[in-house]
Amino acid sequence: MAALKVRAGRPDGAKPHGTMTSRVFGRLTLRTPSLCGSLMLVLAVAGCQQPDAAPPVATPALRLDRARVPQGGPLEMTYRFSVAGDAPEFNDHYGVFVHFFNANGELMFTDDHDPPVPTTDWELGQEIVYDRWMVLPLYPDYIGEVTVAVGLYSVAQGNRLPLAGDDMDQRSYRVATLEIAPPAESVVLTFEDGWNPIETIPEDPQREWRWTTDRATISFENPRVNRQLHLEMKGRPELFEPPQVLTLTIEDLVLATLEMASDEISHYVVPVSAASLGDAETVTVAFNVDQTFVPSVVTSGENPDGRELGIQVFYMFLDES
């Protein structure tokens, strides 16, 4: 069995967004934490511009795991900030703004976040390196190149810090490009048996999920090449000892065995080889859960829900290997 990648929880607790249909993807919010952070596109807002002569406090860099991503597909990113040896003390809390621009220079979406090491703890000459992942939202009217710009902004005041690099204006620094490909390049996943209906909550109606039962299946047209199955899932570790175990299978072949021990939504990347897909025109993947629960039973009737529930699934995408 090939190596399995697991990332427990999103780095910033960001919630996936989009519509969970037979093509299960689309999970990103257009966030605007401050004028200087996310809304500065073309218009110059008073107080955001900074003197260009200020020495850079750090050098940003961004590595993407691929150069071409279909709409709704996952993107893994490695951020790096190399703090200058003569940088002044970081005495304020700075967030990272990450802007994705189309070919016309218009903001499409963001990955604004707080770095895992607070800027107040950054030291001279230090390398701040961390990984994040996101799902590209659906932009049906745009296919093509996207420019990624990064910067640091004060969460309280909105002012931006000078960095070393290609300044696109107003201390927004070009760090990468990628190409958005049509969603037709992805594989359509269809829910089959064993799934409970789509659910949302009033506080965040765009966030959707489905519960499995003890066995749920999805199907897709056989691509006959190596793929990766991206999943965002969560079990109920507080209800079981030991935790639930999810086994993913194609007929009798086990793709992965996952212990659902985290109480956070976790990102899994399951390799699916061409050999495991077989020769049939349609492939069926089964989600087998060893332990299920009934809400009305575990809450002694406080919750009237009498369904059998297994694993909570927020996102699925069958990607190129």
Nearest to 110 by CA among 43, 48, 41, 49: 41
pLDDT in tens, 277-300: 999 999 999 999 999 999 999 999
Question: Same structural domain for residues 166 and 195?
Answer: no
> Are 128 and 209 members of one domain?
no
Please say which residue of 149, 184, 219 terminates a domain. 184
pLDDT of residue 141: 80
What does pTM read for this prediction? Answer: 0.75
- Residue 31 predicted with pLDDT over 80: no
pLDDT of residue 94: 97
264: which 2 tokens? 């956070």
pLDDT of residue 4: 58
SS3 at position 156: coil
Backbone torsions φ then ψ of 234, nearest 5 degrees:
-155, 135
Q: Which domain holds residue 162?
A: 26-184
- From 161, 184, 207, give the residue that closes a domain: 184
- pLDDT mean across residues, the chain: 85
Nearest residue to 311 via CA among 183, 212, 190, 232? 212
pLDDT of residue 205: 78
Q: What is the CATH number of the domain that holds 44?
A: 2.60.40.1930
Is residue 92 one of the residues assigned to a domain?
Answer: yes
pLDDT at 5: 59
Report which of 91, 94, 115, 82 is spatially closest to residue 161, judged by C-alpha positions. 94
SS3 for 310? coil
**Poorest-confidence range of 43-47, 51-55, 72-76, 198-202?**
43-47
Residue 26 has pLDDT above 70, yes or no: no
Q: Using the 3D structure, point to which of 133, 154, 184 is the last residue of a domain.
A: 184
**Residue 24: pLDDT over 60:** no
Q: What is the mean pLDDT of residues 78-103?
A: 95
Alpha-carbon torsion (35, 41, 47, 49), positive or negative:
positive
Q: Give the residue carrying structure tokens 């859960």.
A: 289
Confidence (pLDDT) at 310: 98
Pairing of strands 227-234, 312-320: antiparallel
The answer to whether residue 9 sits within a structural domain is no
* Residue among 152, 149, 167, 83 nearest 113 (CA): 152
Tens digit of pLDDT for each residue in 125-182?
A: 999 999 999 988 877 788 999 999 999 999 999 999 999 999 998 999 999 999 998 8
- Matching residue, tokens 């089959």: 192
Query: Looking at this protein, which amino acid is placed at residue 45?
Result: V
